[in-house]
Structure 1
Amino acid sequence: MRMKAVILLGGPQKGTRFRPLSLDVPKPLFPIAGFPMVHHHIEACAKLEEIEEILLVGFYQPSDALNRFIRRQRQIIGKPISYLQEYTMLGTAGCLYHFRDVITSGDPDAFFVLYSDVFCEFPLREILDFRAKFMQFIMMTVEVPREQSKYYGCAGIDHKTNEVVHYIDKPETFVSRDINAGVYFFTMEIFSDIGALFQKRHRPSFAEPIARQINLLDIEDSKETVFDNYSPLQQTLGRIFFEKDVFPILATRGKLFAYKCDRFWMSIKSAGSALYANRAILETYKKTHPDRLTDHPGCIGTVSIHRTAEVDATAVLGPYVTIGAGVVVGPGVRVKNSIVLEGATLKDHCCILNSIIGWHSVVGEWARVEGTPTELDPNAPHATTDNFYLFDEDGRLRPSITILGRDVIIPPEVVIRNSIVMPNKDLSRGFKNQILL
């Protein structure tokens, strides 16, 4: 079977809960366990020999950072990797339909779709082995506690046939503990089903003519785009989502099947979940990439240190710590359950607990940066949504991890606890339970 993989990156309008970290890099490029988030998806796809090409689809501008990332991935993976930019947010299904000519070029038999903000062991081979010939569309599902299910798309599954007989996105009442895990297998017939939805909405000539007009449009001669000629309602009609539009229909037609995954899975929606994902990925390195874990004498448990980082021999790191490129860790420093991003400096005897230290930030001598660790119920490994909201129902900041944005300076001998510090802040004193704008 000849296949492709499509990884959906989203766009800058999404991932607001990931700020201030997403102010500097697109969320999919935020480094977790030493690599950009979407690197783990690409790496999983590359292991499957049937996948001949990997396509990244998103609404992000093709920045230097994104272009450099793609070039590096091509060299590392050795397979074609391309970025397809949406001209407007088209929805999870609409963007695939818009780029269907690219996806179907070369006559592949099928393709995988992965959401960039989910992490698991990506059992792509297992899904192929599970698939029967009559299964054209497969959704990976995981089981979550009853109270968690309302945050996801819920699937009613016939457990004898694995057919999804009912699907509803984020229901108000309990439907099922089996939820959409953001990994799909599709044959090319999926484009017929999505196309039928466009026709049903009476959006004439949506994909090809508009795409052709945009390509031919001379931007210098006109400040308007083609979509400026449509009302907001008309623009909304062009957005098609698997979760809200496609899957409910497929479930009524007997076309959608479920692969139930019983291994670790999580949704990375916020910085708090990114720190927990860092912990989970470091644990997977024990069996998948032991070479990515360090044997520094001061390390406890799973720790990853970039080869260009400078770590004093008296520093104690771990467990669950990632040290980025060019980081300087001074004498007597203690770091636990944290991510320290590229270029940061941790000065003598400072203490970093349950925190993310931003790019080129400086933590002074004997300072303490501490957050409240995010913990999951060990009996519910897929419960990842309501644990990571920053605010409670009354609008108060929950105790959470501490995040320092880019170029933040923490003075010596102060304590920063359960706070979020926006980029370029030079603090003069300690703070607790604050968002510092």
Structure 2
Amino acid sequence: MKIIVPMAGRGSRLRPHSLTVPKPLIPVAGQPIVHRLVKDIAKVLKQPIEEIAFVLGDPAFFGDDVVESLTALAEDLGAKASIYRQDQPLGTGHAIMSAEPSLSGPAVIAYADTLIRAEFDLDSTADSVIWTKHVENPEAYGVVKLDKNENIVELVEKPDTFVSDQAVIGIYYFKDVAVLKQKLQEVLDENVMNGGEYQINDGIKRMMADGRIFKTGTVDEWMDCGNKTVTLETNAKMLGFLNADGEELVDGSVILEDSKIIEPCFVGKGTVLRNTTIGPYVSVGNHCVLENTTVKNSLIQNRTTVKNANLDEAMIGNHVSYDGNFTKISIGDYSVLE
């Protein structure tokens, strides 16, 4: 089994936090988004992963440190890491084809801007499984249309009339991803574009037209990391799940001086809390100092100092120094506000 992870986008909706760190590497509940996504997919698959192929963007932004982080992630799962580059932002289909040498055999394709909680077995009768989530407002999503045998027969983007309430979340399984590769090559050769981009859906629709069987795999939770608000919501949900799973979230090296942690919270190694209360639903990275501060529903990254603050729904980056009385702040890396 292979996992293909297109992640070349710059994550503009999450700025300023994605100005210096690629969005998939921003930590949520103590781990980078892409690390948590890949590990959760590996759990669902319940089979060995032989290769994880990452499709990155400009080397000036997705540099050696990103490659090292992703290589370590793959190796931790016993897999080979393959690194590809998407040289132009030409859509989801183009991103997948940037990993063309790895497109053979069984594979999962997963876009690295979402997190999941799921427990199901892949349908062995299917040529492909499209992972979906029940939503209350299907008109706002791309959804699947099912026939009487529960096979997917059509993909419909933001339907005006009800088609189904199963939204496509951007994770796909292919029994042989080489079939998708063939269809996407046809899309590229024929220059079939939607919105000025080559889309994975155009390859999938050609597979359906050939009679390939598509099934749904429904996830229990689908958590977005597209902007600050939803990233904080995802951080809170994930902390709740990890706490319920009994995972140790506060590193043993954390120093508490007249301070309190209201669970669930993640606190990284070497962090110091002085006269501070954090929680619930707070993630604080490694080697931070929080002093005379109250924090809830927030995400603070690494090597940051916060003093004399009362934070709620705040997102603060790496190497930040903040001393102030704003509450719902969003501060990018290497900022000083005192």
Report the aligned-residue RMSD: 2.7
Q: Which residue of 1 aligns with 2:311?
A: 369
Aligned partners of 1:67 and 1:198: how far apart in 2?
28
How many pairs align? 331
- 1:312 deviation in Å? 0.7
Q: Which residue of 1 aligns with 2:328?
A: 418
Structure whose CA Rg is larger:
1
Q: Match for 2:135: what amino acid?
A: V
Q: Which residue of 2 aligns with 1:126?
A: 121
Q: Match for 1:83: what amino acid?
A: I
Q: Does 1:270 align with 2:227?
A: yes
Aligned partners of 2:13 and 2:103: how far apart in 1?
31
- 1:82 deviation in Å? 2.1
Aligned partners of 1:102 and 1:421: how far apart in 2?
38
Structure-2 change in CA distance of 1:150 and 1:256 (3 Å): farther
Contact 1:156 1:166 in 2 (8 A): yes
Q: 1:153-205 CA deviation, whole Å, 9 max, x = no partner?
A: 111112x3222222122345544311102221112211222122223328xxx
3-state SS of the aligned residue for 1:87?
coil
Which structure is richer in relative contact order (CA contacts within 8 A, separation 6 or more)? 2
Aligned partners of 1:251 and 1:102: how far apart in 2?
22
3-state SS of the aligned residue for 1:272?
helix
3-state SS of the aligned residue for 1:22?
coil
Q: TM-score, normalised by structure 2?
A: 0.86
- 1:22 deviation in Å? 1.3
Alignment of 1:185-204 (within 5 A): 185-186=173-174, 187=176, 188-201=178-191
Q: Does 1:354 align with 2:297?
A: yes
The percent of aligned pairs where both chains have the same amino acid is: 22
Q: Which residue of 1 aligns with 2:314?
A: 402
Structure-2 change in CA distance of 1:50 and 1:88 (3 Å): same
Instruction: Say which structure is richer in strand.
Output: 2
3-state SS of the aligned residue for 1:176?
coil
Alignment of 1:147-186 (within 5 A): 149-158=138-147, 160-172=148-160, 174-186=162-174
Q: Which residue of 1 aligns with 2:283?
A: 339
3-state SS of the aligned residue for 1:265?
strand
Structure-2 change in CA distance of 1:25 and 1:76 (3 Å): same
Aligned partners of 2:8 and 2:118: how far apart in 1?
19
3-state SS of the aligned residue for 1:360?
coil
Q: Match for 1:369: what amino acid?
A: L
3-state SS of the aligned residue for 2:121?
helix
Structure-2 change in CA distance of 1:46 and 1:262 (3 Å): closer
Q: TM-score, normalised by structure 1?
A: 0.68
Q: Which runs of 5+ in 2 are unaligned?
A: none
- 1:121 deviation in Å? 2.6
3-state SS of the aligned residue for 1:283?
helix
Q: Which residue of 2 aligns with 1:305?
A: 250
Q: Which residue of 2 aligns with 1:92?
A: 92
Alignment of 1:13-412 (within 5 A): 15-47=11-43, 48-61=46-59, 62-104=62-104, 108=105, 110-123=106-119, 126-127=121-122, 130-132=123-125, 135-146=126-137, 149-158=138-147, 160-172=148-160, 174-186=162-174, 187=176, 188-201=178-191, 239-243=197-201, 245-255=202-212, 257-261=214-218, 263-286=220-243, 290=246, 292-293=247-248, 304-308=249-253, 310-312=254-256, 314-347=258-291, 349-365=292-308, 367-370=309-312, 401-411=313-323
Contact 1:407 1:425 in 2 (8 A): yes
Aligned partners of 1:122 and 1:334: how far apart in 2?
29
Contact 1:355 1:369 in 2 (8 A): yes
Q: Which runs of 5+ in 1 are unaligned?
A: 203-232, 294-303, 371-400, 429-437
Q: 1:336-376 CA deviation, whole Å, 9 max, x = no partner?
A: 322223332101x31012222243332214x3122xxxxxx
3-state SS of the aligned residue for 1:116?
coil
Structure-2 change in CA distance of 1:332 and 1:338 (3 Å): closer
Q: 1:12-66 CA deviation, whole Å, 9 max, x = no partner?
A: 1xx2221222123111111122211111233235453343111112225241321
Q: Match for 1:52: what amino acid?
A: E
Q: Match for 2:121: what amino acid?
A: E
Structure-2 change in CA distance of 1:71 and 1:183 (3 Å): closer
Q: Match for 2:102: what amino acid?
A: V
Aligned partners of 2:262 and 2:316: how far apart in 1?
19
Aligned partners of 1:33 and 1:126: how far apart in 2?
26
Aligned partners of 2:58 and 2:265: how far apart in 1?
29
